[in-house]
Amino acid sequence: MKAEENLTMLTDFYELTMSGGYFENGMADTVAYFDMFFRKIPDGGGFAIAAGLDTVIRYLQGLRFDREDISYLREKGIFSQAFLKYLEDFRFTCDVWAVPEGTPVFPYEPVLTVRGPIIQAQFIETYLLLAMNHQSLIATKANRIVRAAQGRGVMEFGSRRAHGASAAVLGARAAYIGGAGGTACVRADEEYGTPATGTMAHSWIQVFDSELEAFRAYARLYPHNCSLLVDTYNVLKSGVPNAIRVFREMRPQRMSIRIDSGDITYLSRQARRMLDEAGLQDCRIIASNALDEYIIRDMLIQGAAVDSFGVGEKLITAKSDPVFGGVYKLAAIEREGRLLPRIKISENPEKITNPGFKKVVRFYDRKTDKALADVIMLREERVDETKPYHIFDPGFVWKKKWIRDFYTRELAVPIFEKGRLVYPIKTTQEIRKECQAQLDTLWPEILRFENPHRYYVDLSESLWKMKQALIDGHSDMT
């Protein structure tokens, strides 16, 4: 594992001006509660996949202001010496709860909650959103593409189109969590164990005097896994025939061809026929070239003979809907031992926040293990699983019904307690496996691309009453 860069100053400047204001107003030790949640599922999908927690953990563990940071802030000329001294001694001591990576999540649910001194809880907003928004977006997009491939392999090929170095590495990690089989990004494999793979570019073939010579040279070097790019000159007239010739001559243990341009559906079908007639039924066909879930779906409907897909720019940038839109909002503060809920009210109903210290409880059908609905409730509330609960059921076209045979699970788990990490770090492979297990609990109607069924997320009665009272101006309820 490489040494972690200190990213403390990767923040919006207003986090510092607010922190300075809290300090100067004697509020540095005021305990605040913040929720991170999102309002809209990308691409009109039925769910999103939470990702980025590992990156947040690393950031919080290294949170500190070094000498250069303090010097920079002093030169701004707007912060007091007392506040700068406070920052010199700054250490993260908050409590954090979060939904584990790989979990399907839905709008308005707290994906991460922070409780602690307001300066600390406020200051981390920028990086927390940066990490969670980006990786949740890519994991969600990757899973759409994986589902479109219908069991065929999907590899992430987008490093060169990513928006910067960290986006390439962390995007590859998120894509793997979402179901991609691996990545072209070597750094992602080195850092996170996302299997790196790759063969050749067109330049490899062009540098030799002939395509056949280039294929032979590569097959000699990599007889255990030989993949030949067949579209440098002409797929059907030279690329596939030359690949067949080399495979017959040298008999690599694993053989594949890659088509990176042209009408891939047509070319793959013709290539499959040629390979089969040559007795190379075990040779796989890989497709790449600006693919996404819709192109892959249409290719397969049209009968493309493709065994796996390399997906680049439209995955690593989530090109069709490139903003996840997660937000970080104050939900409560503590004063004299009492918890005081706080709410953001707006003329746009979707921007009205849910107040208080909350949790998300997921309801499952005991007979099918399918998720029925989520309920956002106050932290102290409990669900009695022995009694009926009024809830929406996806299996009944979203009609309300009393469910009786159910069990529940709280989604968020403790990550930090008073700044100490209490969450067991998982490998990317473990997260990916858990993600698939969680996706298996969703109904097929929620998984589809067009017009997915709306997974119902409700507020408990107690939370709804608290919210309504605050909206109505009855903040004296506390």
Q: Which domains does the chain have, with CATH numbers?
A: 13-137+322-477 (3.20.140.10), 199-289 (3.20.20.70)
- The pTM of this model reads 0.95
Res 478: pLDDT: 42
Q: How far is CA 113 from CA 2, 59, 101, 136, in A?
A: 28, 16, 14, 16
Strand partners, 35: 113, 329
Q: Is 402:396 a contact under the CB 8 Å cutoff?
A: no
CB neighbour burial string for 249-258, b if at least 16 within 10 angstroms, e if fewer: eeebeebbbb
467: its two tokens: 């919210």
Cα angle for residues 448, 453, 459 (degrees, 5° grid): 135
Question: Partners of 457 in the beta sheet?
Answer: 374
Distance from the Cα of residue 160 to its chain's centroid: 20
Say how many Å lie between the first and final Cα of the chain, rounded. Answer: 48
Q: Residue-wise pLDDT tens for the chain (478 aa)?
A: 454 678 999 999 999 999 999 999 999 999 999 999 999 999 999 999 999 999 999 999 999 999 999 999 999 999 999 999 999 999 999 999 999 999 999 999 999 999 999 999 999 999 999 999 999 999 999 999 999 999 999 999 999 999 999 999 999 999 999 999 999 999 999 999 999 999 899 999 999 999 999 999 999 999 999 999 999 999 999 999 999 999 999 999 999 999 999 999 999 999 999 999 999 999 999 999 999 999 999 999 999 999 999 999 999 999 999 999 999 999 999 999 999 999 999 989 899 999 999 999 999 999 999 999 999 999 999 999 999 888 654 444 445 667 789 999 999 999 999 999 999 999 999 999 999 999 999 999 999 998 999 898 989 989 999 999 999 985 454 4
pLDDT at 4: 65
Angle, vertex CA 161, rays to CA 194 and CA 170, nearest 5: 35
The whole-angstrom separation of Cα 241 and Cα 222 is: 19
- For 428, other C-beta atoms within 10 Å of its C-beta total 21
Distance CA 366, CA 202 (A): 54
What tokens were used for 345?
């009210």
Structure-block tokens of residue 30 = 């005021």
